[in-house]
Amino acid sequence: MPGFTHLHTVSGFSLRYGASHPERLAERAAERGMDALALTDRDTLAGAVRFARACGREGVRPLFGVDLAVAPVTGDGPARRTRTPARGGAFVDESAPRVTFLARDGVRGWAELCRLVTA
């Protein structure tokens, strides 16, 4: 399927949202004739190195990205955070809007993704 690229793909590094290993994603993309594939795990870049190596072996161009929750900002500053299990709450708040960022310009784009994830 040359010319088609999935730009929002998650791996098992997206806890509760993805199940496939980065290596398997690259294998499946190659099997389907894709020339590129993006890995956009939720709130992490942890699978990027394994994904890059697997894509290199399979001849698939790796695209790097991340799916981040965006905290709403009010006129009084950042919005008050709701309770989550880690903060003594009973549930995970899924209502925060999310944005997918893709790296551009090689190393510079990677650095920007790292900055966003650690901000």
Residue 59 lies in a domain: yes
Is there a domain that residue 110 lies in? yes
Host domain of residue 63:
22-69+98-118
| 41 located within any domain | yes
Question: Is residue 53 situated within a structural domain?
Answer: yes
The tens digit of pLDDT for each residue in 91-118 reads: 556 778 899 999 998 899 999 999 999 9
Q: Give CA 15 to chain center in angstroms.
A: 11
Taking the CB of residue 17, how many other CB atoms lie within 10 A of it?
A: 13
37 found inside a domain: yes
Residue 109 counted as domain residue: yes
Q: What is the pLDDT along the chain (119 residues), one digit of tens a residue?
A: 568 899 999 999 998 899 999 999 999 999 999 999 999 999 999 999 999 999 999 999 999 999 998 877 766 665 566 666 666 665 556 778 899 999 998 899 999 999 999 98
In 3D, which of 111, 113, 79 has the Cα closest to residue 93? Answer: 79
34 in any annotated domain: yes
Domain-located, residue 2: no
Secondary structure of 79-111 as H, E, C letters: CCCCCCHHHCCCCCCCCCCEEEEECCCCHHHHH
For the chain, the domain total comes to: 1
